[in-house]
Amino acid sequence: MKLDASVLAIVGKWMEYNLNRQHLRDGHAVLIMATDSDGEMRKVKVNDCKKDKDPLKDILVVELLLNAAETEIVGIDVNGEIVIRK
């Protein structure tokens, strides 16, 4: 299930990223290197995970919603399964 246009307008811009296979875990955070469709690589973080768990383990391509600074993941869409951080 994809988000409809009204929800996307409120929530923000989802973009597809290719993720590096190795993610760094730091307690309740996971640091990930993500590459967008233009080839620009950025370091992004998923906060408030279960201790030493990686929600994007074994995921190579994903749609992400980033914060305004584009440093933190606030939404994840894997094959239509969507999670948005409150």
The CATH architecture assigned to 5-84 reads Beta Barrel (2.40)
15-63 pLDDT, tens per residue?
999 999 889 888 899 999 999 999 999 999 999 989 888 889 999 999 9
Flag whether the pTM goes above 0.85: no
The pLDDT score that the predictor gives to residue 66 is 93
CA angle at residue 62 from 53 to 51, to 5 degrees? 10
The domains of the chain are located at: 5-84
Q: Give the separation between CA 3 and CA 9, rounded to whole angstroms.
A: 10
Q: Amino acid identity of 71?
A: T
